[in-house]
Structure 1
Amino acid sequence: MWEEGGSSSGGTSGGAAKAFLDMAKHDAVFNELMQECRHSAPGARLSAKLRTALERMSPRERRVLCDRKRDGCAPLFVACKRGNVEIVEYLVHVCDADIEQRGVYEVPDDRSVHTVTPLWCAAVSGRLEVLRALADAGADVNAGSDSGSTPVRSACFMTHLDVVRFLVARGADIHRPNHNGGTCLINSVQSVRLCAYLLEHGAEVNARDTQLKTVLHYAIQEQRVETVRLLLEHGADPALASRAGDDALRTACLKGAAQVVSLLAGRVRYPAARMADAYELLGSTLLDEFNDVTAALAAWRRATAIRHGGAGGPGGGYVAKRPVRAPCPALGGAREWRSLAELEAAATDMDALRTQSLLVVARVLSPDHKDTVFRLMYRGASYADAFRYQRCIDLWSWALQIRIAKDSLLSTDTCHTACALTRLMLDAHGGRLERGRGLPSFSDVLKIFNLLADDLPECQRLLEARPVFKSQADTFDRALRCVTHLVYLLHERASTRGERAAAAAAVTGLVRADVRSAHTRDTLLHLCVSRLNVIRSTYFADELDVTVSTARAAGVPALVAEPSRPS
């Protein structure tokens, strides 16, 4: 019995040892295989030693070994990326490697990472011979990436025309978009030849993505004039508008594409009012985005000539600017120029030109257009850099008002605006801004407080629905922290009995709404006394750490104390 037991124990030990040796051997072979796949020159074969080791394994062992991954990639995937067609054919036909096994591909241009098949990797890398070997072995030419992009669509992005031709010949679907609706044609705007090839093979020229943009929008955005001309010749509709309401002409103006504006004006019969708006918007872009005063004034002079009956306007009659908007307090009540003389009078005053630019954008695009808000924020930051903090506060307050009305405080952009504005006011009050003495005014602080406080209760109600989107909960808490700092500023900047009464009334109203933080359910009073209550703004470099409950703000807790229980 002891001998039998000893024999059994020895057999188990021997089997474990053999398994360990086999595992070590497989590890060594796999390491050598990955090394050669990564570093062999294009056209090289695997070494004789490695091929011998692989061919001594059973077919199942070879396949299992070739399915192993390192850094998210199997040997076949690495060989495809490197373009080693000899190694690819060996792994596919001798080792029976899985030709659909996905690996991790990092796009060199934007460093984005995608999970894709070996054929997709070969297509993007421009490895035509590898592509042919995989297709001959039966690989799926329409296997998409994790973002839904097919090999042919991604090859279009890389402008591999020979790869695109091969894939189309093998049955690749050039009409299939990715998850965002992006088509092969949209990915090809950088190449007139590639666009022409796709159009010849039936690509839909007016297909739209999830932003409702067509290929014409993207060609204009990149100022590809010849591509735009080709698309128009093949029936691209310049009247189709994106989700933001931008058609081809407006997109060209927003991108400063003067050549495209001229091309569209020559092909489409736009009304005089539309062309005047276009040249005014183009001039605004040339001034704001390219800092080209000469080109901006030239565009504005042309628009003025159109409005007064020249350059295509109706004979003699003035084309009024529509819609007519009331003077904006944030811009000092300024109005747009009407005559050429008024424009020339402003031409020597850069600040006046910047103001005119904002007036044009707000009228032509509407105040709630994303480009309008962006330019308000950018111009406000420029004023802050020039120590003109009140102008910055005025513009950012307007931008905050627009964003709250359009997107609510749960929007990340809205919260960023609130944080930047609160941070600026805290810096001004704390004496950390050069030439910021006397700021912020009590009226500005109260205005911003009311903007945030009026929207917080409704946002809190929206967050009661489950599940809660974490990003929106985080944004809500950041906005609530801004409010607590504004409470501190209300207390500090109130200098008269009336101002103190207005501050108390505003804060009491918010306290009665019982607004609490989304994550920890902290009240306003908890946040005011917390040392963790800080403002972080992406518009400024360093972090501000201001505790609301300081000795100087001893009166603040009284303003935010919990309301009495009803009797």
Structure 2
Amino acid sequence: MDFHTLAQSIQYNDLSWFLSEQIATECLNMSHKKTGDTILHLACRFGRRDLVEGLMNSEGGVDLQISNYEGKKPLHEAAQFGQLECVNFLLQNGVQVDCIKRADWTPLMLACTKYQLSVISLLLKHEADPALVNKDGWNSFHIAAREGHVEILEKLLQSDPNVWNTASHNRRTPLHTAALHGHLEAVRFLLDHCDYSVDVGDSCGVTPLMDALRAGFVDVAQLLISKHKADVSKTDTLGRQAVHHAAEAGQVEAVGFLLTKCGVHVDAATTETHITSLHVAAKEGKDSVLLLLIKKGAAVNLVDNKGRTALHIASGAQHASSVKLLLTSGALDIQDKAGHLAHHLARRQDVKMAFEQHGS
């Protein structure tokens, strides 16, 4: 029997082969060439609790904590795939609840990547530590926030009331994570039950509001602003506001929300470089955002600290359609502080043609 056939038989619960002592003994020593998965990993992945017990009681037995090439143990497999009976059997037979695989992931962390509430409850009952962190500095609470599972966040918080007070190696909190992924109810729960500052910044100064708007989740932004008074003018370490992040990502609705509902000035500029949302959208070729900003009265010839207009930026980034849009909206081909006209920065033929067709 090859490993593929073995995996299929376990997946579809065809264990007649196990009745043959010779085949069973052969399979005990079999592993996947690329992953190092063993028969025990497969049994736990597919929830074959009887097979796990049979393997443990077979002649010579099996190591219930055997690792594959990623350091993944059978408990990791059972927890990740929600195989409650296998998780319970392994724990009852003394396996380490907080065993670590590559990148320092525990079974509890893997269970939090999916809605495995019963498995998580069992792991916590056996004293799994939700405060342990992986190589990126994420704990189980971070992971549950990314998935937006409020019930799991609540369960983890009950187990460890301080588990919320954590940040990754780049200082991102679970609140950042939930906001970035648009999990409205998770954001609501975190702000109602944890002591986060709504304007907490990561290592780049990025706030949860910036994350939400960059990803286009206006409903999350509305909650952060209206109920928790998030500061729309807060800046990151580069002096950028939420509107710059939204413009860079091409989030038209988010930019419109900030301009129309939040009173953000259409020409709001970064603190030191004087870059506006128009500059940012031009650099990324986000024409729909450019059009919105222009309709809202953006000054198309406003310059940054290097004397560059949005037209310079669009031309240098080789965005022909953005160049055309700016030129037809009144952008002038003026010199920046280095003496460059915007059309000097055009390298692609279609960008050069945009200037030529406009008569620049």
TM-score above 0.5, yes or no = yes
Whole-Å Cα distance in 2 between the matches of residues 243 and 119 of structure 1? 34
Whole-Å Cα distance in 1 between the matches of residues 58 and 85 of structure 2? 17
Whole-Å Cα distance in 1 between the matches of residues 350 and 39 of structure 2? 62
Residue in 2 that maps onto 1:260: 254
SS of match in other structure, 2:104: strand
More helix by share: 1
Q: Using the TM superposition, give the Cα deviation of residue 187 of structure 1 relative to its aligned residue in structure 2, in angstroms.
A: 0.8
- In the alignment, structure 2 segments of 5+ residues that lack a partner are 1-24, 32-37, 316-321, 356-360
1:67-109, CA deviations, whole angstroms, 9 ceiling, x for partnerless residues? 3211221111111122111111111112x111111114xxxxx
Whole-Å Cα distance in 2 between the matches of residues 164 and 235 of structure 1? 23
> 1:95-114 maps to which residues of 2 (within 5 A)?
96-104=94-102, 114=103
Residue in 1 that maps onto 2:184: 192
1:308-327, CA deviations, whole angstroms, 9 ceiling, x for partnerless residues? xxxxxxxxxxxx95668768
Whole-Å Cα distance in 1 between the matches of residues 129 and 332 of structure 2? 53
Q: Which amino acid aligns with 1:40?
A: G
1:158-180, CA deviations, whole angstroms, 9 ceiling, x for partnerless residues? 22232222112212511201111
Q: Which amino acid aligns with 1:191?
A: H
Q: Using the TM superposition, give the Cα deviation of residue 26 of structure 1 relative to its aligned residue in structure 2, in angstroms.
A: 11
Corresponding residue pairs, total? 302
The 8 Å contact of residues 145 and 177 in structure 2, kept in 1 or not, is answered as yes
Residue in 1 that maps onto 2:167: 177
Q: Which amino acid aligns with 1:50?
A: L
Change over 3 Å in CA distance of 1:29–1:134 after alignment to 2: farther
Whole-Å Cα distance in 2 between the matches of residues 84 and 198 of structure 1? 28
Whole-Å Cα distance in 2 between the matches of residues 148 and 124 of structure 1? 16
Residue 241 of structure 2 corresponds to residue 243 of structure 1 = no
Alignment partner of 2:205 out of 212, 235, 251: 212
SS of match in other structure, 1:261: helix
Which one has a bigger Cα radius of gyration? Answer: 1
Residue 223 of structure 2 corresponds to residue 223 of structure 1 = no
Change over 3 Å in CA distance of 1:385–1:116 after alignment to 2: farther
Alignment partner of 2:42 out of 10, 18, 35: 35
1:450-481, CA deviations, whole angstroms, 9 ceiling, x for partnerless residues? xxxxxxxxxxxxxxxxxxxxxxxxxxxxxxxx
Alignment partner of 1:130 out of 116, 119, 130: 119
TM-score, with structure 2 as normaliser: 0.68
**Percentage identity across paired residues of the two chains:** 17
**Higher alpha-carbon deviation: 247-256 or 180-189:** 247-256
Q: Using the TM superposition, give the Cα deviation of residue 211 of structure 1 relative to its aligned residue in structure 2, in angstroms.
A: 0.7
TM-score, with structure 1 as normaliser: 0.45
**Highest relative contact order (Cα 8 Å, sep 6+), 1 or 2?**
2
Residue 81 of structure 2 corresponds to residue 82 of structure 1 = yes
Residue in 2 that maps onto 1:476: none
Residue in 2 that maps onto 1:148: 137
SS of match in other structure, 1:220: helix
Q: Which amino acid aligns with 2:285?
A: E
Residue in 2 that maps onto 1:289: 285
> 1:428-439 maps to which residues of 2 (within 5 A)?
none
Q: Which amino acid aligns with 2:169?
A: H
SS of match in other structure, 2:51: coil
The 8 Å contact of residues 29 and 50 in structure 1, kept in 2 or not, is answered as no
Alignment root-mean-square deviation, CA: 4.4
SS of match in other structure, 2:43: helix
Q: Which amino acid aligns with 1:134?
A: L
